[in-house]
Structure 1
Amino acid sequence: MTFLKQLMLATATTALLAASPVIASAADLMAIITPSHDNPFFKSEAEGAKARAEALGYETIVLVHDDDANKQNELVDTAIARGAKAIVLDNAGSDASVAAVQKAKDAKIPSFLIDREINATGIAVSQIVSNNYQGATLGAEFFVEQMGEKGTYVELVGREADINAGIRSKGYHDVIDQYPELKMVSRQSANWSQTEAFAKMQSILQANPDIKGVISGNDTMAMGAWAALKAANRTDVILVGFDGSNDVRDSILEGGIKGTVLQPAYRQAEIAVEQADKFIKTGSTGEEEKQLMDCVLITADNAKNLETFALKE
């Protein structure tokens, strides 16, 4: 081959590569960090993020912080040491996680938060969360309707350090407190835990055997409460959860728990990965940092269309 032909071939090859879309190389790593996968909501997040990242050509590392801010800090160190191009994070506390996200930013690794906000802006690239207040008002309106606007009830609250617990509780009360014949007789935190909710519900029932309803800050606690209610032969109690889990879906379809509020965990995680990919390639997501995704009320009317925190059309 003559020198001229070699030069023409090299030029054509360079032009072709320049025209090709940019894709992640096999060496590009995305770190996905969530709370424990014992909770199907967080497992769904991790699976959604991992599947989308790998479809976009990234290697992934999936890590669990168990709602422990110190462990989360160590996992961020791991992501930095591994040279991750981005971190998708469902954090371990709105205040306690600020330093970890800042550390990643200082290491030039962008963070994309899902599900839970942090109490700072300008550190994470994106904070993509469910509209917890909107979802809570939906759930509360349904709860009031099911209760017939009167009766004694209990509220199970999530982990106090989690900003979502407070937002959901406020949404519940901004609706329920408008009905003077609805009386809350107990409000206790079960820390998003099914086991803890079971134990708390047993104690609450002993002190308040005639309660008519329970409204729960998430589905995991709702399942624990429902188990305690069934054990006490109180399946007449109105119970509403929040998350949109398959377990609660099944209970709704069986005539048990009355409803829940779907927050689209799987899609939320996919969006975070897509924005991370765009940021890596262009330096911008094209979106505001804080982004809200509306929730959907799930009842016996549409529960059959719910699968893994997503509502089928």
Structure 2
Amino acid sequence: MKTFAKSVLAAGVALSVVLGGALSASAAEKLIVVITPSHDNPFFKSEAVGAEAKAKELGYETLSLVHDDDANKQSELFDTAIARGASAIILDNAGADATVAAVKKAKAAGIPSFLIDREINETGVAVSQIVSNNYQGAKLGGEEFVALMGEKGNFVELVGRESDTNAGIRSQGYHDVIDQYPDLKMVARQSANWSQPEAFEKMETILQAHPDIKGVISGNDTMAMGAYAALKAAGKGDVIVVGFDGSNDVRDSITSGGIKATVLQPAYRIAQIAVEQADKYLKTGSTGVAEKQLMDCVLINSDNAAKLETFALSE
């Protein structure tokens, strides 16, 4: 009798282990991990919020992590996602080359990655790479800048982090337009690493050497805000500043007569599309679309700035 009881107990324990494992696996299958740069930048926070909202709407748990543009930290966060048994990773990455190994690591563990905002320098590793059409957007910004400058004058360019593919693409788009106008002369070009405090400091230094600048074109809104703050502090608030991203901060500056224009890339919507594609891929084995996808950008100036809210333009 005792032997029978022990057998029943052992079977029960074994069954509970199996069921427990199945439940854990089931829970893990419903986890989407969202990894972005620092949420101090509202653009990246918008990505995380958009991805989380769509994931929860589709029935997933979410885990939001920040890599601070540190590829080593990003690799550790991928280890966390793998250890948690995530079903998918939504990623705004920490470097076009440095990220490839991390995405491959997740793929080898059976976890697909869906990239937003920034591409990596390899295809066939991530399932999707959904990015703003940075070149198209930069040309829009460049054209607006040329018009605001009256096709002449000295200007400064602030570029983003050198390891970020988008920094180079935006700069190329700007110059493919601006360089057609010989009376527009670039007197300084410096990286401020997408940072507002760094842009403020760089702008202060540039102004000492070039006090007569007429315009500043910036690779993102955060640097544009830093540059404008430095210009205003120096009594040069009339210098033309154009940014890129479509942040609420720059929207408010435009509507109050400060920064003149920006280019909206729909961060919130792109993040949601990535989650929708992850959900479809997990259910069907395919997203139904190409790996690389471009989303067109929209020029934002005094004509439409009031319609801008959290990286989305209302009709």
**Alpha-carbon distance between aligned partners in 1 of 2:42 and 2:95, rounded to the nearest angstrom:** 19
DSSP 3-state at the match of 1:222: helix
Identify which of 213, 218, 221 aligns with 1:219.
Answer: 221
Identify which of 251, 254, 259 aligns with 2:253.
Answer: 251
Q: How many residues align?
A: 290
Residue 307 (structure 1) aligns with: 309
Please, what TM-score do these two structures have when normalized by structure 2?
A: 0.91
**Alpha-carbon distance between aligned partners in 2 of 1:200 and 1:96, rounded to the nearest angstrom:** 27
Identify which of 282, 287, 290 aligns with 2:284.
Answer: 282
**Alpha-carbon distance between aligned partners in 2 of 1:109 and 1:272, rounded to the nearest angstrom:** 14
Please, what TM-score do these two structures have when normalized by structure 1?
A: 0.92
Residue 51 (structure 2) aligns with: 49
**Alpha-carbon distance between aligned partners in 2 of 1:236 and 1:61, rounded to the nearest angstrom:** 44
Aligned partner letter, 1:29: L
Residue 298 (structure 1) aligns with: 300
Among all aligned residue pairs of Structure 1 and Structure 2, give the percentage whose two residues are the same amino acid.
79
Residue 92 (structure 1) aligns with: 94
**Alpha-carbon distance between aligned partners in 2 of 1:25 and 1:91, rounded to the nearest angstrom:** 26
Report the CA distance between 1:26 and its aligned residue.
8.0
DSSP 3-state at the match of 1:60: strand
Residue 31 (structure 2) aligns with: 29
Residue 83 (structure 2) aligns with: 81
Identify which of 256, 274, 278 aligns with 1:272.
Answer: 274
Residue 118 (structure 2) aligns with: 116
CA contact (8 A) 1:27 1:59 kept: no
Report the CA distance between 1:172 and its aligned residue.
0.3
**Alpha-carbon distance between aligned partners in 2 of 1:266 and 1:237, rounded to the nearest angstrom:** 30
Identify which of 154, 157, 177 aligns with 2:156.
Answer: 154
Residue 185 (structure 2) aligns with: 183
Report the CA distance between 1:249 and its aligned residue.
0.1
Residue 107 (structure 1) aligns with: 109
Residue 16 (structure 2) aligns with: none
Report the CA distance between 1:25 and its aligned residue.
6.2
- The yes-or-no answer on 1:132 pairing with 2:134 is yes
**Alpha-carbon distance between aligned partners in 2 of 1:182 and 1:42, rounded to the nearest angstrom:** 33
**Alpha-carbon distance between aligned partners in 2 of 1:206 and 1:224, rounded to the nearest angstrom:** 16
Q: Which runs of 5+ in 2 are unaligned?
A: 1-25
- The yes-or-no answer on 1:235 pairing with 2:234 is no
DSSP 3-state at the match of 2:217: strand
Q: Residues 13-33 of structure 1: CA distance to partner in whole angstroms, max 9, x if unpaired? A: xxxxxxxxxxx9685100000
CA contact (8 A) 1:259 1:298 kept: yes
- Regions of 4+ moved over 4 Å: 24-27
Report the CA distance between 1:49 and its aligned residue.
0.1
